Structure 1
Amino acid sequence: MKPNALRTLAAGLATASLALSLHAQPASKLSDGVVRLGVLTDMSGVYSDLAGPGSLIAAQMAVEDFGGKVLGAPVDVISADHQNKPDLAANTARQWFDTRQVDAIFDLVSSPISLAVMEIAKQKNKIAFVNGSGTSRVTNDSCNANTVHTSWDSYSQSYSLVDAIAKQGGDSWFFVTLDNAGGQSVEKDGIDAVKAAGGKVVGSVRFPLNTPDFSSYVLQAQASKAKVIGLIASGADTVNAVKAINEFGLTKQQKVAALVTFLPEIHSLGLDAAQGLILNEAFYWDTDADTRKFSERFFAKAKKMPDSVHAGVYWSVTNYLRAVQAAGTDDTATVMKKMKDTPVNDLYARHGAVREDGRLIYDMHLVQVKKPSESKKPWDYYNVLATIPAATAFQPLAKSGCSLVKKP
């Protein structure tokens, strides 16, 4: 081959090589050429309706809506059932990070699960999104730079609700509380709100997870003569507790504030049993055109409307992928910084932002369960009483116990 031809061939190969290199450059900034997301949830237990298969569907929807790729690389979603066992959840997370190259874990319903997994994520320098746990410890004494808390927490769920009822004359309270980190955290914030409003707590009782019979707890609440019963339960426990409350006729003499109650529990109870309950919600499917459009698509796959955990998983996956895309890498510190630097305002997080403590703040909704006569269509369960602005719905940074928060 002549020298000129050789030079031409070499130049052509170099140009092709450079083109291929430039084309592959975005994916080369990823740790292994694949963005792998893990949904670690309760697939079969007490929280399976609240989170479970619906959380996996929400994650898959988010990936599909993003186009299935980020920075030219495919996005893979895997899942596992933690069975509400913190040891199993921690071991699964460790295995995912070590052998499956998982970049971020989502859902983590139940407080003991979230606290266990976010510690593993910290150790492995990966990201944990807490979508289904309510303990405020996630963004207080247990906070770390690798965790984002998107779901309700004990402050947002209880403080404003208790404060509103206490100021309307509900000045004596008895709490019926799930005996775990999340339940205790909600109870503490509820007690603080009662006292701040000038009321008093006359007593409390705690029950274990998966309690089938609430008779003894409900009778103690009835005997307390408190004006308001603060029920701190979720999943099947909420359903069983409200049934017992109705059976013993407590609502004839006392108000019931459902501090940790969500759409699936209302659906399971039915409006006859749940009517009149007042609660806080991070997300309601029938809020506006955007929430209805998303929820109808979710319903087509899950055969039920999404709750705040499902919508929170969708938000988390979407915003994680956006951050990776904008940052040009899946490096944990870079992605976390991008999320904290980027305000959000979407169907889940209105007027939202991820704060330095990892807390996603957004507007909350104070709602009351409708009477059966008020419901006009399936899943039409709430009257929205008020919108609680993001700035006041969550614990102020000034009160934070998170080491990441810079104090004045």
Structure 2
Amino acid sequence: MKRRVILAATTAMIGCAAYAEDLEVTHWWTSGSEAAAVAEFAKAFDATGNKWVDGAIAGSGGVARPVMVSRITGGDPMAATQFNHGQQAQELVEAGLMRSLESVASADGWRDIVHPASILESCEIDGEIYCVPVNIHSQLWLWLSNDAFETAGVAVPNNWDEFVAAGPALREAGIQPLVIGRQPWQASLAFQTIVASVAGPEAYGKVFGDKDADVVNGPEMEKAFAALATAREMTAGSNVQEWNQATTQVINGQAGGQIMGDWAQGEFAIAEQVAGEDYTCLPGLGLADIVSTGGDAFYFPAIDDPEVTAAQEELARVMISPEAQVAFNLKKGSMPVRGDVNLDAANECMRKGLDILANGTVVAGIDQMLSPDAGNQLADLMVQFFNEPGMSVDDVKASFIDILEYDS
């Protein structure tokens, strides 16, 4: 890694040189709002005298993660890399390829400031912290275009049932009722959201957490599978690939709605749309006051260089600092991991999420309950279901149970 010598004014006065590091940071944040958000981290880190070297990898996490893992295991590690909350980096940690942040976390009291505690627990292996969580992303949202419903001559829905009822009017007006991109993870996200919202948080936990096949075959999940079939009907004609392309269709009124995580509101923000006026956000599909605790964290590969190690610790501290937490999350559309920051600038949708986080029902993100392999299998199953109109709900149910049994 390139090392630069920076003479700060104070050190110049006493004739000492302060060493700074260029740290390559890999991530998959490439949409407009994501790039604006990650720039806040870069700016804050650069202000320390170090240098953020951006290593964005185009595509979703499913595309980027294998590249990141290959570099780390192949002896060409970056200085820091993004993963989601959960088990994605566990094997790397167990192989001794990632460095512990326990000394930083303990010294700075991370266990006292990160809320809910389960977020930081996702970073903990054998009692030590191995990552810095940077946000809380709830996947369980429905985003609606107010203009689309006005064009169709129907009221903006308050929940999933009203949205489904408005579908024919949207079609008649030449508007795509529900848009979902063709990446497998988007179809999986829609299913997870439907399970949590339609079957309910208790069933969601028993299905994904306990891997309970009896619940999968039960009446609550029957409602969820029926809603999944309806979602497939409403997405017929959807022809976009990336999630942010789907969000753009909602922003432009070409689509009525999108099931997507709260990062979608970052795209609404850079389009200068106002929550409650131009678009409507419904956590739990408007059926339940519920959010999930997914999100992103950064891990730091073990590099045998004390100067790099010191800069990695500085970056970890920057990412969880109150100032960077606010600046980053306001642009990302996610919620801060700190419970002690000022969010007066939060919009209506972020406030909904924060209120539920404080007073409503909070469930674990899917990456915290399924192994990466099982998560990929689920994504493949769901994209198959959405792309094959002849695939029955019974076929999906049987395959889903197989995945849960495999992951048990």
- Alignment TM-score, normalising by the size of structure 1: 0.41
The higher relative CO (CA closer than 8 Å, separation ≥ 6) is in: 2
Greater C-alpha radius of gyration: 1
More helix by share: 2
